[in-house]
Amino acid sequence: MLSRRSLLGAAGAAYAANPKIDAALTRPVVRRELLKEPVLIQSIELLKSGKHFFVRVRSTNGIEGFADAHSSVMASAYPILLKRVAPSFLKKDARDVEVLLRHVYLAQSNYKWQGLPYWVSVAVVEIAILDMLGKAANQPLGALFGKVIRKTIPVYRASGNRGNSPEAEIEYLQKLVGETGATAIKYRLGARMEYNDASTKRDLALLPLTRKTFGAGMSIYADANGSYDVPMAIRIGRLMEEQKFAFFEEPVPFDYYDETKQIADALKIPIALGEEEMSLRGFRRIIESGTAQVIQPDLLYFGGLIRSIKVARMSEAAGLDCTPHMSGGGLGFLYIAHFASVVPNVGAHQEYKGDDDNLPVSCATSSLKSEKGMLTVPAGPGLGVELDPTLLRNATPIAV
């Protein structure tokens, strides 16, 4: 077994006097004891079939794992995955995946390359390895991290619209709710990293209209995508409080930490932040400083489930929810489902993006759809889904 000492690196167990957060960071995430024998990684392939990219890993004893590789990112990021990420995992014991995450960060000075293409590459290799480990252990993916505590997950649907009229947005949200039975919705405010008179007019009309339309039983979240300055964020936040919204996401640009904290201090509504955050240490600072109250690592942008579980544990130590963000559609909803199956403090609802454009998979234990606002977590080993054989037949390996 590889040393665990290096695990303490990036977020620093020695920092500050917060033993609960230190303990959250140092506790191993993967239950290595579930696997008595080594699972040696023989190959890591990036494959493309139609518009879909996916990663396939194989062990020397023939166990396979796969992950949807966030196709829109991978179309540009694939040389990073193939040249900088995959080599650190090849020929290694997959049971050490947690330690290998530290090794890949140091290999080839990858920490200088970190950013979305690097971390998404790490995430999808990690998830394919976890799928393989789950199959080796005959356990669903969540069980690799702890006791599975949820078999079904309440979901919310997010609207990606901006700039449409309040009435058109309400109609669209009604359609999403009708399709999924979701008891929670999220929609966008502002003009994306800026605001103007038209966006403010829309925001001020939409906030009360959503509550009036959907009634008291609907949980409503709103995401400003960094659009406001502090005074406007406080003005909008007060209206959200009046309308009993559940959280206010990215009120100001995501790296305006001091301004986000000013807003959090001025308002009662929880502030959500984290989808653009790529540093474990950065999350520690957000959590310890009270900058945000709902912590939102994107499972792919942040580099996978293991790092995100560390964020969830730090959040738990501070009494906060860690509700992951989902980028890119695809099978991201499955990664979130397994995360939420085992993480206690995930918050009330998880993002579900629908299944219009997914990598084709089948599942014997879940419809993979939101039914009455609930998604059943696949119960089979690993991710619990099988890739469509046609997709595999048509797939070609990507090389650099």
Binding site for Mg ion (CB under 5 A): 223, 249, 275
Describe the crossing of helices 71-80 and 116-137 by its angle, rounded to 10 degrees: 100
CA distances from 280 to 7, 120, 253, 259, 266 (A): 12, 15, 19, 20, 26
CB of 254 to Mg ion, least distance (A): 9
E-assigned strand segments in 225-377: 247-249, 271-273, 294-295, 321-322, 350-351, 361-362, 374-376
Q: 31-50 b/e with 16+ CB inside 10 Å = b?
A: bbeebeebbebeebbbbbbe
CB of 167 to Mg ion, least distance (A): 23
Q: Which is nearer to Mg ion, 187 or 339 (CB)?
A: 187
CB of 202 to Mg ion, least distance (A): 17
CB of 66 to Mg ion, least distance (A): 27
Q: Which is nearer to Mg ion, 45 or 249 (CB)?
A: 249
How far is 172 from 96, CA to CA, in rounded Å? 45
Q: Which is nearer to Mg ion, 323 or 341 (CB)?
A: 323
Q: Which is nearer to Mg ion, 50 or 163 (CB)?
A: 163
- Token couple for 52: 């879909």
Which residue's CB atom is positioned nearest to Mg ion? 223
Backbone angles phi, psi at 16, to 5 degrees: 60, 180
CB of 253 to Mg ion, least distance (A): 12
Q: Which is nearer to Mg ion, 98 or 277 (CB)?
A: 277
Q: How many CA atoms lie within 13 A of 74 on its CB side?
A: 29
CB of 226 to Mg ion, least distance (A): 9
How far is 64 from 383, CA to CA, in rounded Å? 12
Q: Which is nearer to Mg ion, 300 or 385 (CB)?
A: 300
